[in-house]
């Protein structure tokens, strides 16, 4: 049986993954079996998300009724008094997940789905479910079930605090996190942001999570965890997840872009980049279907240097979330650089020659050679950016965005943000 759950947290705290951890322990005790957990991130631009827009899926071998255990945990732990919290749980007990539920899950990572779409599929396949308040969590719950067939995945090990510490400042030895990252990167990623010297595996909000270590290899993740010195933690859970997979991104032309979705667009730079007060950097691109404004926000840090180095005519692939007619950049691939030139005096002995006066030619100050030409030379300008893929700094990266350190054999250079 697969049990999908979503929308139990709020901006005041709690965490759906924490509910999943306690529910896992309760079910293991009741069923006497080892239970698997999956963490599924959905559309990062959705209007109704709290923080990372996460749902969970619990996999158990038994198929008899466990709904009472699930109901009690949701009723006890979910922030039902919050106006924006509307939990839902879906129970799936067949061997094969139907294609329409799989497609629903893929759409939930990219688009904004309505509750009627979820309830329609639940009714069509005669699935049991639990709905609280409006039941909007049924969307993420059903998507979490449909996403379990996806082969592209990573892992996250989450350490949870003792409840008495939830409202307190987290106590984590920063130097130990640096050691953990140095010992396990690139098999773990986004543990810290070396550019900003910031620990990013630990949240800043008031919730149960102490820290989370993400990576490809569970053994390397556990090694990183073993090196971190922190306050005591009460629970430790390894989730398989779709984080770091770019599951939210779809290729498209500019005319096809829709609000609140994430895209990858092949285009040509149509304007010189510009930076406004506050540090946000903009650039305009276009394809044969239209023009598009892109922005690299100030928190993306050195990524903006790459954007600023673009010039009109460069061929690029821009990637990010489309919000208010603007693409919020997460990645940028420079496909081809256009030639840039400047006009200057002729070169001799690796130095610019001196003018002898109007229409009198040029003389080398080193070897004294004279060049009798009237027209100055057109010289190629060395570009400050190379073809290849670039990304925002780790502290500005979305959960779903695939770090370039995971990219292999793509046929072009990658420049991971470390």
Spatial distance between the Cα atoms of 281 and 272, rounded to a whole number of angstroms: 11
Only one residue has tokens 């200057």, namely: 344
The H or E element containing residue 50 is: none
32 backbone dihedrals φ, ψ, rounded to 5° = 55, 50
pLDDT exceeds cutoff 80 at 280: yes
Local structure of 275: helix, strand or coil = strand
pLDDT exceeds cutoff 80 at 62: no
The reported pLDDT for the residue numbered 378 is: 65
Q: Please choose, from the candidates 177, 197, 173, 198, the residue with its C-alpha nearest in 3D space to the C-alpha of residue 188.
A: 177
Separation of CA 283 from chain center: 21
| C-alpha distances out from residue 366 to 359, 370, 376, 409, Å | 21, 11, 19, 48
The reported pLDDT for the residue numbered 374 is: 64
| pTM for this prediction | 0.88
Q: Please choose, from the candidates 48, 51, 53, 54, the residue with its C-alpha nearest in 3D space to the C-alpha of residue 86.
A: 48
Spatial distance between the Cα atoms of 209 and 151, rounded to a whole number of angstroms: 27
Q: Kindly state the tokens that stand for 110.
A: 């990219």
Q: Which residues of 185-194 are buried (b: 16+ CB within 10 A; e: fewer)?
A: bebbbbbbbe
Residue 214 — pLDDT band, cuts 50, 70, 90? very high
Q: Which domains does the chain have, with CATH numbers?
A: 2-149 (3.30.70.2200), 154-241 (3.90.600.20), 249-339+383-415 (2.40.50.1010), 341-380 (no CATH)
Report the percent of the chain where pLDDT is more than 90: 75
pLDDT exceeds cutoff 80 at 34: yes
| Residues whose CB falls within 8 Å of the CB of residue 345, separated by 6 or more in sequence, listed in order | 352, 353, 354, 355, 362, 376, 377
Spatial distance between the Cα atoms of 180 and 162, rounded to a whole number of angstroms: 23
Residue 145 — pLDDT band, cuts 50, 70, 90? very high
The reported pLDDT for the residue numbered 195 is: 83
Q: Of residues 304 and 353, which shows the higher confidence score?
A: 304
Q: What is the mean pLDDT of residues 362-377?
A: 79
The H or E element containing residue 9 is: none
The reported pLDDT for the residue numbered 375 is: 62
Spatial distance between the Cα atoms of 370 and 367, rounded to a whole number of angstroms: 9
Report the percent of the chain where pLDDT is more than 70: 98
48 backbone dihedrals φ, ψ, rounded to 5° = -95, 5
Residue 379 — pLDDT band, cuts 50, 70, 90? low
Residue 63 — pLDDT band, cuts 50, 70, 90? low
Q: Kindly state the tokens that stand for 341.
A: 């030139």
Q: What is the mean pLDDT of residues 313-339?
A: 97
pLDDT exceeds cutoff 80 at 342: no
Q: What is the mean pLDDT of residues 39-47?
A: 94
Separation of CA 192 from chain center: 15
299 backbone dihedrals φ, ψ, rounded to 5° = -65, -15
Tell me the pLDDT tens digit for each residue of 243-268: 999 999 999 999 999 999 999 999 99
Spatial distance between the Cα atoms of 413 and 318, rounded to a whole number of angstroms: 16
The reported pLDDT for the residue numbered 393 is: 95
Tell me the pLDDT tens digit for each residue of 91-131: 999 889 999 999 999 999 999 999 999 999 999 999 999 99
Segment among 227-241, 299-313, 367-381 with least mean pLDDT:
367-381
Residue 206 — pLDDT band, cuts 50, 70, 90? confident
What is the Rg, in whole angstroms, of the alpha carbon atoms belonging to the chain? Answer: 27
pLDDT exceeds cutoff 80 at 277: yes
Note if the bond before 186 is cis, omega within 30 degrees.
yes
Strands 354-355, 249-251: parallel, antiparallel or unpaired by DSSP?
Answer: unpaired
Whether residue 292 contacts residue 278, with contact meaning beta carbons closer than 8 Å, is answered with no
pLDDT exceeds cutoff 70 at 16: yes
Spatial distance between the Cα atoms of 378 and 370, rounded to a whole number of angstroms: 18
pLDDT exceeds cutoff 70 at 376: no
Q: What is the mean pLDDT of residues 391-412?
A: 92
Q: Give the other-Cβ count within 10 Å of 393's Cβ.
A: 20
């Amino acid at each position: 049986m697969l049990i999908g759950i979503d929308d139990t947290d709020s901006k005041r705290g709690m965490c759906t993954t924490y509910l999943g951890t306690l529910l896992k322990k309760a079910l293991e005790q009741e069923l006497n079996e080892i239970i698997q957990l999956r963490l599924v991130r959905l559309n990062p631009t959705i209007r109704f998300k709290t923080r990372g827009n996460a749902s969970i899926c619990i996999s158990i071998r038994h198929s008899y009724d466990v709904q009472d255990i699930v109901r009690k945990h949701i009723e006890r732990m979910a922030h039902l008094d919050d106006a924006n919290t509307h939990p839902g749980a879906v129970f799936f007990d067949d061997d094969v997940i139907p294609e329409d539920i799989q497609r629903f899950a893929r759409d939930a990572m990219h688009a904004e789905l309505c509750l009627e779409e979820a309830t329609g599929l639940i009714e069509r396949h005669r699935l049991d479910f639990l709905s609280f308040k409006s039941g909007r969590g049924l969307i993420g719950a059903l998507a979490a079930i449909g996403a379990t067939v996806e082969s592209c995945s990573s892992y996250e090990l989450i350490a949870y605090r003792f409840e008495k510490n939830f409202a307190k400042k987290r106590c984590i030895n920063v130097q130990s996190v640096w050691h953990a990252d140095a010992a396990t990167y690139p098999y773990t990623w986004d543990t810290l942001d070396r550019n900003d010297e910031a620990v990013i595996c630990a949240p800043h909000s008031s919730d149960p999570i102490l820290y989370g270590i993400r990576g490809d290899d569970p053994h390397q993740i556990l090694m990183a965890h073993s090196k971190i010195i922190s306050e005591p933690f009460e629970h430790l859970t390894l989730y398989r997840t779709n984080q770091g997979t770019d599951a939210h991104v779809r290729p498209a032309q500019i005319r096809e872009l829709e609000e609140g979705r994430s895209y990858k667009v092949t285009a040509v730079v149509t304007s010189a980049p510009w930076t406004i007060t506050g540090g946000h950097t903009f650039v305009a691109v276009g394809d044969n279907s239209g023009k598009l404004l892109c922005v690299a926000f100030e928190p993306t840090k050195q990524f903006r240097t790459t954007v600023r180095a673009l010039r009109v005519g460069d061929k690029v692939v821009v990637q990010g979330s489309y919000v208010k007619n603007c693409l919020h950049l997460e990645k940028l691939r420079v496909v081809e650089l256009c030639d840039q030139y400047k006009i200057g005096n002729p070169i001799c002995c690796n130095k610019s020659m001196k003018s002898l006066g109007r229409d009198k030619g040029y003389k080398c100050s080193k070897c004294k050679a004279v060049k009798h030409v009237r027209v100055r030379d057109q010289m190629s300008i060395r570009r400050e950016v190379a073809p290849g893929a670039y990304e925002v700094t780790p502290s500005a990266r979305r959960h779903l965005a695939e770090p370039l350190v995971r990219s292999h054999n793509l046929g072009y250079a990658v420049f991971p943000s470390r």
